[in-house]
Structure 1
Amino acid sequence: MQIINLKIQDNNEIIREIVFKDGVNIITNDGDDGNQIGKSTVLKIINFFFGGKFTDLWHDPLNKSTNETVKEYLTSGNVKLILKINVNNVEHTIVRTLYQKGKRFSSINSINGLSFDGEDKYKKKLIELFGYANKGLSFSQLKNRFFEVEKKSSCDVLGFLYSNKKDLLTQAYSYLYSSNSLPYIIELNEFKLNKKELRKELEFLLKGSDISDFKNRYDEIQEKIESYEYKINSFDISKHQLDIVDELKSLRIEIASNSENLVVLENRAIYNNKTIENYNNKIDNVDVDVIESIYKDIVDFFGKPKEL
């Protein structure tokens, strides 16, 4: 890839243009003082084109301050950042415009005249533009190896080049120089990452304890499990089931006997009810006048009976 030129356009006016030559380009000044001529700003803008954070355009990581003038100017919606590049002998033009909507910032982007709203769609198309397809190393990780915009000190070049992410650097340079060992490096780094995650998990489980304590506790629990398994396997429930069956048979015999007694009692009750009913019917059929007539005849013949 080669950067051809970078333009900053305000409405229809080009206010700054930098033309890059083949090979190494050095941005400096003609005098003794090289400060405040825009070296860092140019790198931040190029980084922004390649998917960097737009906040880096106005944020200074050295003193952790924000340049409100630059921020207001770039997010007005009138400023276009235009970058022309050559990728595999094919020229591409990228245009990015920032604007503020409420408290949120967004961007309008185009690559070769094709528009992409929002960061995600733009970055996806950007990756396709470079033909980058590496599962072990994201495009942002690769790009960040060459843009120092978030370091605490811009003089910490040695710390930037030899960071603690040596595995990441190995993957980046293996990809750039088309090393045949890249798949194996990715696989090795995955092993290292998995090992690191497992160690973290082990430390979390131990929580400062010695692993021998867990081994003893493990043996105790295992012994109890085996004891319960033996009890479960040797447990005979058939005897209890037979006792229940015998009790059920006894209850059925008792119920049958009570049922027979109940039938006898019901028959007796029916018979008694009929006897009482017949007796009541006989009483109802007695002729009182006949009885009084017989009583009179007896009194007339025998006389009135004496009281006892």
Structure 2
Amino acid sequence: MLKQIICDKFVQKEIILDDGLNAVVGDDIASNSIGKSTLLMIIDFLFGGEDYIKKNHDAIDHLGHHEFKFLFEFADEKLYFIRTTNEYKFIAVCNDRYEIQKRIKVEEYTNLLQEKYKCRLEDLTFRNIVGRYFRIYGKENLNERKPIQYFEKEAAANSIIVLLKLFDKFKIIKEFEEQIEKLTDERAILIEAAKKDLIPRVTKTIFNKNEKRIVELNQQLEALKTEIISASADIEALISKEVLSLRKEKSTLITKVNVLKNRLIRTQTNLKNKNINIQPELKQLLNYFPSFNVEQVEKVDSFHESITKILKEELLWAEKEVKAEILEIEKQILILDDTINSKLTIQNAPKFAIDKIIELAAQINQLGDENGYFTKKENLDDSIKSATENLDILKEKVLDEMCSQINIKMHEINKQIYIDGRRAPTLNIHGNKYTFNTYGDTGTGTAFANLVTFDLALLDLTCLPAIAHDLPLLKNIENLALENIVDIYSKSRKQVFIAIDKLSSYSKDTAQLIESCKVLQLSKDKLLFTKNWKQDNQTNA
């Protein structure tokens, strides 16, 4: 925890802090602009924030750039640092004499604090944990109706996600979201491929038409089977794995020939000084066309890009090479045709019947493949819908559990604040919206007390290491309630930083308690800084 702050611009050069309550106390006439909120902002600065630079720039304007030396203590380990206003993106790591050993970026520093405070959480930075609950004048998190909002324009959905992460309940939701994202990406690939005519565009109507056609073709195939079997033909030999494998090999060779012929056309076009522009986008289709030779197509494109840069003699040589390769593959196709025909020497089977069976089998396979794409998309749609529904159910369950935890704890704290049995505030989250209030009580004092109650609940339930409550928040709470809140602050095992004044307004016991937890006393005669720029006649304190 933060134990020490030293600054040569302070009137009180050194400030010592402790666990539990740390109070910056103003005077009984509630003097303004004496440094109460500024010190809280400086504490936020030492916890890695930047609002002191952005919202308290008047201090830098009048004091010049300055530095803070500070000490964090964890168990038996003491860590010494320096942070300056002119190089606030870096933190100096020091020895116990505040001699600089090295400089690190603020992100590395806050990661270190997050580790030391044992609050490593899924996708949640240290500042996103602490900064929300340092409620200081000038920051945008003092809205008593929106306790989880970090800044004014933060969407409620984002605030809710951060709260889930703080309670370490986001992991399982994230897994569902990643699954949905993966399915959605896969579906988008199918749709995009269909738009580019790389796979068939199959609608429900075409799907049903294909299904009907498959039935018809199977009936024809069965009829041919009967005819050939009656002629003592072995129908299994016609569509055996071996024959189908040979036909598949032949199909692959035909594809290669077509690719090579395209290459030949390109080469001949380049020889005529014509340009061809292609944009191969086929790699992503490998999942759906395992046998599609993407690499070969890419080579075509690469060949085209390079061929335009070489000499015409090389183009002629390339043309000759391609023609030779085409001729060689066409020879292989002829050999395969002979092999297939030799496998189909079924006794007494008419030649037209053999060809017809192979044709029917190919048509059935093609229609089956086309409908496979449609079925794949339908299955993806169903999976996305089902996963989304399950995610909604899971989110509702997790959010209800978290809200229940918070509301139970707030109820316990509220009983300590209001001993007259007033209703406790409740947090209700539904989807991406939430409400926070006390049923039947819309008073300003109650609303700010509710905000304090919420922060105290989170301080107890989560790894949140510290909270800060500025005077504008506390002064709206009725005295008796605030006295009980101060008592709760003082009993916390974590650090609570507050700014408060007019101690004479509270009971003797409360005033004494605040005095015992006071880390700095400020007044119109004793300011935080050695220079007073709030008045026309600036004087040193």
Higher RCO structure (Cα 8 Å, ≥6 apart): 2
In terms of fraction of residues, the more strand-rich structure is 1
Q: TM-score if structure 1 supplies the norm length?
A: 0.47
Greater gyration radius: 1
